[in-house]
Amino acid sequence: MPQDISKSNEIPVFDILPRHVGFIMDGNGRWAKQRGLPRSEGHKEGAKTFRKIGEYAADIGIKYVTFYAFSTENWKRPEAEVNAIMSLFGDYLNEVIERIGENEEKGIKLKFIGDRRGISPELLNLMNYTEKLTENKNKVTLNIAVNYGGRHELTSAVKNIAEKIKNGELSPENIDENLISDYLYTSGQPDPDLIIRPSGEYRLSNFLTWQSAYSELWFSDILWPDFTTEDFNEALRAFEKRNRRFGGI
Ligand code: FPP
């Protein structure tokens, strides 16, 4: 069969592709405000961007993508906004379940990172179910950070390690960087090579605090609902040109 050249041309080729990309999905509120809409509409549009970018990442061959969807600090937002965001998570997970046949092709393995305490039992059920449903997929691992905070993650890791030492299962000499990484939600995954934050804010906001030690950072003024695959390509092209030395020369 002749190759469908027009289709294969749609997927750009990169000389160097990050193995793991993190996204801080910021700017939904401002996007809605600019249009005189409630903030929840910005999150709704942001959820569409999340789907589009997650699938695109899988298409171009990135193996791990992490989306910062809800931080441990986001509970401070008005209840209606928190509920609207939680409801978008639920909609997405129900969609994953309904479309598992398609997901079979897409090969998306879902994983939730963050503290599961505080999440409603209904959403928690969906999270556990979709993780199980997609656990054997291997095209891309899509981490969704929900009730996630980098310092909170490290604090939990320290507590768990201390508990093991108390029980005699570990000794302080066993503690090294690999062991700490193993106690994080991202255990077994490579650290993010690239973290992308749109919306004109230049900080990491407690995202992958330990894992981002050597991440390349890419910022842009675009608000997350407006973020396109072209913007993603631009970040990837910039990444290709970066000279990562990891402390060497
Ligand atoms: C930050 O923008 C965004 C959030 C706290 C929520 C992000 C959630 C989504 C995009 C929905 C994701 C859905 C799924 C299915 C994972 P902001 O509200 O702080 O924006 P602002 O700084 O302009 O106010």
Q: For residue range 207-231, list pLDDT tens digits in order.
A: 999 999 999 999 999 999 999 999 9
Euclidean distance between CA atoms 78 and 68, whole angstroms: 19
Pocket test for ligand 1, best of 24, 25, 39, 203 (most atoms within 8 A of CB): 25
- Kindly report, residue by residue over 166-185, the tens digit of the pLDDT: 999 999 999 999 999 999 99
- Within a domain: 60: yes
Euclidean distance between CA atoms 215 and 153, whole angstroms: 18
Euclidean distance between CA atoms 95 and 220, whole angstroms: 30
Mean pLDDT of all residues in 83-100? 97
- Within a domain: 56: yes
Euclidean distance between CA atoms 5 and 140, whole angstroms: 24
The yes-or-no verdict on residue 152 having pLDDT over 90 is: yes
The yes-or-no verdict on residue 246 having pLDDT over 80 is: yes
Pocket test for ligand 1, best of 24, 30, 41, 43 (most atoms within 8 A of CB): 43
- Rounded (10°) angle between helices 39-60 and 79-98: 40
- Within a domain: 29: no
- Within a domain: 226: yes
The yes-or-no verdict on residue 7 having pLDDT over 90 is: no
Q: What backbone phi and psi angles, to 5 degrees, belong to 118?
A: 100, -15
**What's the domain range around 108?**
16-23+40-198+213-239
Euclidean distance between CA atoms 183 and 127, whole angstroms: 20
- Within a domain: 35: no
- Within a domain: 205: no
CATH code, domain with 107: 3.40.1180.10
Q: How many domains does the chain have?
A: 1
- Within a domain: 76: yes
The yes-or-no verdict on residue 3 having pLDDT over 50 is: no
Euclidean distance between CA atoms 113 and 147, whole angstroms: 8
The one catalytic residue in 9, 15, 59, 74 is: 74
Model confidence, pTM:
0.94
Euclidean distance between CA atoms 180 and 174, whole angstroms: 10
Euclidean distance between CA atoms 104 and 112, whole angstroms: 19
What is the 84 CA–ligand 1 centroid distance (Å)? 10
What is the 42 CA–ligand 1 centroid distance (Å)? 8
- Within a domain: 1: no
**What percentage of the chain carries pLDDT values higher than 70?**
96
Six-digit token pair at 189?
A: 């995954």
What is the 152 CA–ligand 1 centroid distance (Å)? 20
**Is 125 designated active site?**
no
pLDDT of residue 244: 75
Q: Which of 9-18, 24-33, 60-69 has the lowest mean pLDDT?
A: 9-18
Report the nearest atom of ligand 1 relative to the CA of 39: 18
pLDDT of residue 102: 79
Under the banding of pLDDT at 50, 70 and 90, the label for residue 6 is very low
The yes-or-no verdict on residue 8 having pLDDT over 80 is: no
Three-class DSSP category at 206: coil
